[in-house]
Amino acid sequence: MSNTLSNISRPIKDELVQFNEIFRNSLKSKVPLVDLITRYIMKQKGKRIRPLLVMLSGKINGEIGERTHRGAVLVEMLHTATLVHDDVVDNSDKRRGFPSINAIWKNKIAVLMGDYLLSRGLMIAVEGGDFDFLRIITQTVKRMSEGELLQIQKTRKLDIDETTYFKIISDKTASLIGTCCELGCASTTDNAKQILAMRSYGENLGLAFQIRDDILDFEGVTKLFGKPIGADIKDKKMTLPLIHALNRVEKSETGRIKKLIKGEKKENIEKVIDFVKANGGLEYAKEKARQIGDKAKAELAIFSDSSAKESLINLVDFVLERNL
Amino acid sequence: MSNTLSNISRPIKDELVQFNEIFRNSLKSKVPLVDLITRYIMKQKGKRIRPLLVMLSGKINGEIGERTHRGAVLVEMLHTATLVHDDVVDNSDKRRGFPSINAIWKNKIAVLMGDYLLSRGLMIAVEGGDFDFLRIITQTVKRMSEGELLQIQKTRKLDIDETTYFKIISDKTASLIGTCCELGCASTTDNAKQILAMRSYGENLGLAFQIRDDILDFEGVTKLFGKPIGADIKDKKMTLPLIHALNRVEKSETGRIKKLIKGEKKENIEKVIDFVKANGGLEYAKEKARQIGDKAKAELAIFSDSSAKESLINLVDFVLERNL
């Protein structure tokens, strides 16, 4: 299948190379320890999905400029900051197959590095005089932390319904993806309708991405890096496949399954997975993700055809089909 | 002695009451868990030194307005965010005599709450359209995290000299105090010379504040809340009194003291304190703090006399003389 990230990146291949250079330079610090850690972060660069999105969303209207690059650096810096903090809060000792920052340098340094990366990212927007970028990005950081906190609050009581689920994934995941697309688009046009359409594309892409992520927690695909199958159930996270399956059964059965989840035994996790599969949870979530993916694609209708637009359409399918 | 915080606050007494109301409202969130934690934070309000500074620095030029209040909320929000993160990184279970956020709600929630407070503070500047405030504040967050990271890096090797010490305390402490004064002053005047003088006042006040804090680690005053005597030595932090005392003795003696510090025994801490006292470390640090305090006061010369100016002068003495 030709729908690979490398094919999708083709329209902005040169710009992504440039991005890596600019990103590396933006991370330089006079404090040797900061420099050491940022060099470590650069070595294990991720898939750069967010800069990719910023650039394709900019390219759809013409040529990528300095402002597009600034947006890409900003979101990648912010994303990196949240990953560093995430590893602290989850006590993770691995990230992308490498030891995490907190595993090597301890929590104290990891929390401070996250704060440093966050403020450094915001400074780039400030230095560029991009007030609009700042407005969008601070709102995004707020939504991301609120979404995570809502999830924790609700998870404790195992009482997440479908509406709450969508509120949580919209804030914690889709907000940043939507921001990537909005910043990218706004970097090459002033057309408010187009900018709005691109944000909506991104928010929907983000929802589809997270639903797919939650589906993968139930499906038996070995992940090279990342969390093992059933990790969400172990963490008592109620995701769409489980929520739907619970909605379809009697109250007594719901109680039995929630007890299994609270029980925290390994064999319980398998039973919960079987329950979700037997009650159509995965089909339902896949269908929802497909519908949301279609909404994302439909938002692109107002843009003229281009290789960037084609890549954004293909990216939706890539997200829906990914097994990693 | 009339030099109390309550006397110093007199010129802006009503405005501080107003501040508490605005601050409480700014912290409201639709996420119940966020609301619960912010109400908890509000209950144990600190001394509000930073809002006090913003307001006095604004009042020195006339009437405090909406923009001054925005600056005060912004710095207090940022300060609260760093305290919440600090308690995570230091594994503290107490703050101002109350259990810390991480002690009650665990690290995960505390890190996210810190991120939430930081972004919420920045959003207030964004909503007010205050690009200048954003420029100042993001630079400050970067300096604060870099300062902390430099301290950690240097602490490991016990190789902090006086220049490095001043670089560290300038970034981690004085930067935010300077920012309070700059924001406050800029909220009521456009006079660049005055704004610069007020930042310099604040940076020097911040340095004096931190030196005094470091002196208190050696002096036998019981603290009701906060860290016990010798806590810095236990953490292997090299502060001005110790750095100076080490500079005054032979290399062999330096080695002996550093070994004592690395030894981490309780009786060693007392020996290090005695060494610092015997070698004039405290007198030297007090004299330095006094000189820096004088510099702070001198910056105020360009302002007309007012009760706000008098309070800012008295605040320097308060900081130099405080035992808590």
- Of A276-290, B137-151, B196-210, B287-301, give the lowest mean pLDDT range: B137-151
Q: What is the pLDDT of residue B224?
A: 56
Residue B96's pLDDT band (cuts 50, 70, 90): confident
- Sorted by sequence, the CB contacts under 8 Å of residue A126 that are 6+ apart come out as A134, B131, B134, B135, B138, B139
Distance separating alpha carbons of residues A155 and A79, to the nearest angstrom: 24
Residue B1's pLDDT band (cuts 50, 70, 90): very low
Distance separating alpha carbons of residues B320 and A122, to the nearest angstrom: 35
Of B128, B119, B127, B131, the C-alpha closest to B84 is: B119
pLDDT winner (highest mean) among A36-50, A169-183, A225-239: A169-183
Which residue of A111, A129, A148 is in closest CB contact with B89? Answer: A111
Mean pLDDT of A103-123: 88
* Closest alpha carbon within chain B to A122: B138
How far is the alpha carbon of B273 from chain A, nearest alpha carbon, in Å? 27
DSSP, collapsed to helix, strand or coil, labels residue B187 as: coil
* Closest alpha carbon within chain B to A33: B153
Q: What is the pLDDT of residue A227?
A: 64
| Structural domains for chain A | 5-321 (1.10.600.10)
pLDDT in tens, B150-184: 988 888 788 899 999 999 999 999 999 999 999 99
DSSP, collapsed to helix, strand or coil, labels residue A63 as: coil
The residue that leads in pLDDT, A58 or A116, is: A58
Report pTM.
0.85
Using a CB-CB distance cutoff of 8 angstroms, which residues of chain B are in contact with residue A153?
Answer: 31-33
Q: Do A149 and B112 touch (CB under 8 A)?
A: yes
Residue B87's pLDDT band (cuts 50, 70, 90): confident
Q: Is the pLDDT of residue A50 over 90?
A: yes
Interhelix angle A131-157/A101-127, rounded to 10 degrees, is 140
Q: What is the ipTM of this complex?
A: 0.81
As a whole number, the mean pLDDT across chain A is: 91
Mean pLDDT of A294-307: 98
Of B40, B124, B54, the C-alpha closest to B83 is: B40
Q: What is the pLDDT of residue B318?
A: 95
Q: What is the pLDDT of residue B75?
A: 94
Question: A60 near A303, Cβ under 8 Å?
Answer: yes
Distance separating alpha carbons of residues A55 and A67, to the nearest angstrom: 10
Residue B2's pLDDT band (cuts 50, 70, 90): low
Which residue of B111, B145, B152 is in closest CB contact with A85? Answer: B111
pLDDT in tens, A279-294: 999 999 999 999 999 9
Which residue of A82, A112, A145 is in closest CB contact with B116? Answer: A145
The residue that leads in pLDDT, B284 or B152, is: B284
Mean pLDDT of B85-114: 86
